[in-house]
Structure 1
């Protein structure tokens, strides 16, 4: 009887117990609720301004642009919350202004939202007025329901803090590069609004011992952005070095000290100080790890093993020569047949593990799959690895290495070859360029021209909107969970005065949807200065030609018919000095091997 009474009493206490207490979740949702209502109001004002557009009166168009900018700024106050907790809902507001194919299920996504309105408004507002109004009405209706997302909403402090730290990464990589608004050039203002929002959300978490450091860092970063009205000339490198990266470091320290670290959204390693430090990315989240030293040693030996090819003349190093920063310097590599080139250029293997897809067309999901495909390919190596691994196991030079990675001879098969070589390739991430040394604290590592070049890369030249920092490849921040493919309209040769369309269909061949026709993976531009020629076909032989191609607006800008080009066709109008500075920065990304 007494046990039954005790149990009933315990259940009553449990029922009466308050909900799990949090530090700042309520503050965060309060901010969201107010800002969501303000965003809905700003969308309505934008719609009214677009209704008043008269293509014969430029003032009406400028007013619409201003209201669009205001709507974007209002959206940035809730973007971190929506992107983290309601990602699917967030997509309708800020989707890129192009037809998208959502990987891995190949779901089609039509352009919608603020970025799409921007593209139409800057293209031909009179012609696209009705489409812009349709977008506005859709956004207006959706935005009115944003507060309803809080119904039965639950979150932890750890989740709120991760959403904030990801927003800071977004500021450092996307906002200041103008990724969301390349035509409005409102990225610096949007970064400021994002930091102001972060500031408000963090207040309940910042303890008295941290107020001085974090408060000052936030205030300094906001002040730097507030002075950055000129998008093209904002000093992004100074902002990163003196404000954003120290802020990221101290924010991470605070979260760690509170024991509120979680990693639900991406591949970032929160044990590193900032995203520009080696080790900032979790290799296991990218399809594997570096493996143990024995597997890596075995893979390095196999990397130079010509007997993996059918005639004993080709190895991995034949097309990815370490002396050439793991390329071969050819437009297209020579395969197993003398004098016969393979279809595409051999890109550097440096940092190749930092992608979610391999090959130019992304047809392999992992390095292991890529290596297997190359070894078996009849044009490349045409090898029989299943036979060779048994032969290697009988040779003294391999026996010890194989025993360390596969003690059981019965379990030995060709899979170990792919794993071993992939483990070696995953070690090819030196991060020791002049740029890396500068970021790490050596302020003599870059010249003034290279500093200007970085600011151009991340600003006016729009390179950073596809080659995302800090890897400078197509791995998209802030979660780095998706590899980007772009349709550039790459020419068949470097004769840009008489351009011809390259016939290679790219990703379309393995993913047959029209929006992948001519699409290729965005490679890293680390070591680009020493890995010519460029593009999937090796058509552009110098960095000068590459910069000219982008400055003209890609294939469409050169006059080619590329209906689904994702690269903006608007010329960048870079001066000769700016082009020179941009190339100087690319030289600073060369690793010392």
Structure 2
């Protein structure tokens, strides 16, 4: 009898759980099925418009541009779902218009999709007509098969909700910057469509949770986006602080309150208030271990300034990363172990340096520990013998106590403790206490009008935010921040624009020998950029004004150099002097108090 009752109770729980699993899954999949069909029809319309292109007929070009925009808007109705559940399939439609390299096997993926079509359409529509038609036919065939993805498809409500919260981050970090469509400048319209779909997908959940704040902020976001017709003049900071970020906070609260929170991607911290909060990222995803002994950071801080780690006792980590200089040294290229001899590249700030999936300008180290080990052993930098050094230090009273805390077994003591300890210290260098951070935390007096305008330009017209992604303003690619970006800028050997010369440093090509990495370098954070001159991997630009001028001219290719695989657009930005000044003012607002 008791066994029968227990079995019945288990069946009741199973039925209840199965019902709980589908608050809005079926609603979402049916929306995808309907919108996928409409998207396929739009791709066909785009092909027909491109087939009618006549380079002598401005109307035919304008029609093709409009059809491309319409198709992109249609894609945005299915993008959040496709990119979350079928990421590989999504890459067909919307990826950067450049050859991408799948590491570590260096498999090439040729450019394809709407961003590639956009680049061709705005470059030479007549000359690229055949290629654009080819792209459309390829996309047409793929789009026709989209409903087939739902065959035997299974998802949970928690997954649906995570796909929506990731889409919101995509809007805040990519759509409003024009990342996907820098020439069409359709990012604001695409954001509106994303919010419309978000509203429909979330409707069953909002009814269940009885939370109307999420709905109100979704509506407010749309109203704010549509009231400004001009992409360049849109007030992004107001939009974020008044609507999008509060929406993120309330959406997270609703998901948590329903007990439907999951984190399949693992890098974002969903317990943070919003994406601009200091705890927005799970630090464990960047190698920070919660199990680190408290003494490890203390030991690392001391070792950071230990000159005996170098072969001649003259250099420490702090020599090139001086805390008083925001962890830089103010030199174009640091002086290494040999007197008067510079190392190959500029020493970037270590502030926020742990928030990367690759270290060094060329990304040759995957972890901070590996980077630190490489520097200490490098014959041009410190040329140290750390295994011998740590045993000597362990005999000294000032170190003995610290080392015993983290490595009580003296017999197993080795150089690994040095790399772990210094890395643990570097991971604490995340102050998030700039004027900009105070503003985003609620202090609306923290920024001047010029700095507010500078942020809006940075995230909009100037296209800075399409490589230096918010909120860290480095090369971690949103919305999942799972990859570190490398860019080919055509950086010159000096800041003499009248006689530009290509810098000979081949960057990531030396690590991964493919032509598409020749001259590629990691995108560093611009937090604290105002106080960490000189700039670029070679320290060639002495001032932020020179940096702004370089980007405004379109990088090396824009200056007339032959940079065939430059990933920075060579099209001049045509920024005014006041606009450049405002962007620099914003960069000054990113300076931390240390």
Task: State if a TM-score over 0.5 links the two structures.
Answer: yes
Counterpart secondary structure, 1:233: coil
Tell me, in whole angstroms, the C-alpha distance in 2 between the residues paired with 1:3 and 1:277.
Answer: 52
1:20 aligns with 2:21: no
- Tell me what 1:253 maps to: 253
- Tell me what 2:354 maps to: 353
- Tell me what 1:167 maps to: 167
Tell me, in whole angstroms, the C-alpha distance in 2 between the residues paired with 1:218 and 1:17.
Answer: 33
Tell me, in whole angstroms, the C-alpha distance in 1 between the residues paired with 2:227 and 2:105.
Answer: 44
- Note if contact 1:162-1:263 (Cα within 8 Å) is conserved in structure 2: yes
Q: 1:388 to 1:242 in 2, by over 3 A?
A: same
Tell me, in whole angstroms, the C-alpha distance in 2 between the residues paired with 1:448 and 1:270.
Answer: 31
Counterpart secondary structure, 2:108: strand
- Tell me what 1:421 maps to: 422
Tell me, in whole angstroms, the C-alpha distance in 1 between the residues paired with 2:508 and 2:287.
Answer: 20
- Tell me what 1:454 maps to: 455
Q: 1:228 Cα shift? A: 2.7
- Note if contact 2:507-2:521 (Cα within 8 Å) is conserved in structure 1: yes
Kindly provide the CA deviation profile for residues 32-66 of structure 1, in whole angstroms up to 9, marking residues without a partner as x. Answer: 11111111011011000000000000110010000
Q: 1:438 to 1:303 in 2, by over 3 A?
A: same
- Note if contact 1:189-1:229 (Cα within 8 Å) is conserved in structure 2: no
Tell me, in whole angstroms, the C-alpha distance in 2 between the residues paired with 1:292 and 1:161.
Answer: 36
Q: 1:492 Cα shift? A: 0.2
- Note if contact 1:278-1:431 (Cα within 8 Å) is conserved in structure 2: yes
Tell me, in whole angstroms, the C-alpha distance in 2 between the residues paired with 1:495 and 1:427.
Answer: 38
Tell me, in whole angstroms, the C-alpha distance in 2 between the residues paired with 1:17 and 1:260.
Answer: 18
Tell me, in whole angstroms, the C-alpha distance in 1 between the residues paired with 2:15 and 2:273.
Answer: 39
Tell me, in whole angstroms, the C-alpha distance in 1 between the residues paired with 2:573 and 2:302.
Answer: 46
Q: 1:497 Cα shift? A: 1.6
- Note if contact 2:506-2:518 (Cα within 8 Å) is conserved in structure 1: yes
Q: 1:208 Cα shift? A: 6.5
- Tell me what 1:180 maps to: 180
Kindly provide the CA deviation profile for residues 441-489 of structure 1, in whole angstroms up to 9, marking residues without a partner as x. Answer: 0000000000000000000000000000000000000100000000000
Kindly provide the CA deviation profile for residues 60-113 of structure 1, in whole angstroms up to 9, marking residues without a partner as x. Answer: 001000000000000011000011000000000001101111234422111000
Q: 1:3 Cα shift? A: 12
Tell me, in whole angstroms, the C-alpha distance in 1 between the residues paired with 2:565 and 2:120.
Answer: 15
Tell me, in whole angstroms, the C-alpha distance in 2 between the residues paired with 1:18 and 1:253.
Answer: 23
Q: 1:292 Cα shift? A: 3.6
Tell me, in whole angstroms, the C-alpha distance in 1 between the residues paired with 2:518 and 2:591.
Answer: 32
Tell me, in whole angstroms, the C-alpha distance in 2 between the residues paired with 1:249 and 1:105.
Answer: 40
- Tell me what 2:145 maps to: 145
Tell me, in whole angstroms, the C-alpha distance in 2 between the residues paired with 1:587 and 1:266.
Answer: 32
Tell me, in whole angstroms, the C-alpha distance in 1 between the residues paired with 2:217 and 2:2.
Answer: 57
Q: 1:209 Cα shift? A: 6.1
Aligned length: 589
Kindly provide the CA deviation profile for residues 118-145 of structure 1, in whole angstroms up to 9, marking residues without a partner as x. Answer: 0000000000000000000000010000
- Tell me what 1:498 maps to: 499
- Tell me what 2:156 maps to: 156
- Tell me what 2:372 maps to: 371
The answer to which of 408-417 and 462-471 deviates more is 408-417
* Residues 369-408 of structure 1 aligned to structure 2 (within 5 Å): 369-408=370-409
Give the alignment's Cα RMSD to 1 decimal.
1.8
Tell me, in whole angstroms, the C-alpha distance in 1 between the residues paired with 2:420 and 2:204.
Answer: 47
- Note if contact 1:450-1:582 (Cα within 8 Å) is conserved in structure 2: yes
The answer to which of 306-315 and 280-289 deviates more is 280-289
- Note if contact 1:249-1:273 (Cα within 8 Å) is conserved in structure 2: yes
Q: 1:562 to 1:107 in 2, by over 3 A?
A: same
- Tell me what 1:589 maps to: 590
1:478 aligns with 2:479: yes
Q: 1:174 Cα shift? A: 0.2
Tell me, in whole angstroms, the C-alpha distance in 2 between the residues paired with 1:105 and 1:563.
Answer: 23
Tell me, in whole angstroms, the C-alpha distance in 2 between the residues paired with 1:153 and 1:192.
Answer: 28
- Tell me what 2:524 maps to: 523
- Note if contact 1:192-1:222 (Cα within 8 Å) is conserved in structure 2: yes
Q: Which runs of 5+ in 2 are unaligned?
A: none
Tell me, in whole angstroms, the C-alpha distance in 2 between the residues paired with 1:401 and 1:42.
Answer: 65
1:536 aligns with 2:537: yes
Q: 1:436 to 1:17 in 2, by over 3 A?
A: closer
Kindly provide the CA deviation profile for residues 384-416 of structure 1, in whole angstroms up to 9, marking residues without a partner as x. Answer: 000011111110000000011111112211001
* Residues 499-578 of structure 1 aligned to structure 2 (within 5 Å): 499-578=500-579
Tell me, in whole angstroms, the C-alpha distance in 2 between the residues paired with 1:452 and 1:570.
Answer: 22
1:303 aligns with 2:304: yes
Q: 1:100 to 1:204 in 2, by over 3 A?
A: same
Counterpart secondary structure, 1:535: coil
Q: 1:235 Cα shift? A: 0.3
Tell me, in whole angstroms, the C-alpha distance in 2 between the residues paired with 1:577 and 1:467.
Answer: 21
- Note if contact 2:304-2:422 (Cα within 8 Å) is conserved in structure 1: yes
- Note if contact 2:209-2:254 (Cα within 8 Å) is conserved in structure 1: no
- Note if contact 2:209-2:258 (Cα within 8 Å) is conserved in structure 1: no
Counterpart secondary structure, 1:326: coil
Counterpart secondary structure, 1:108: strand
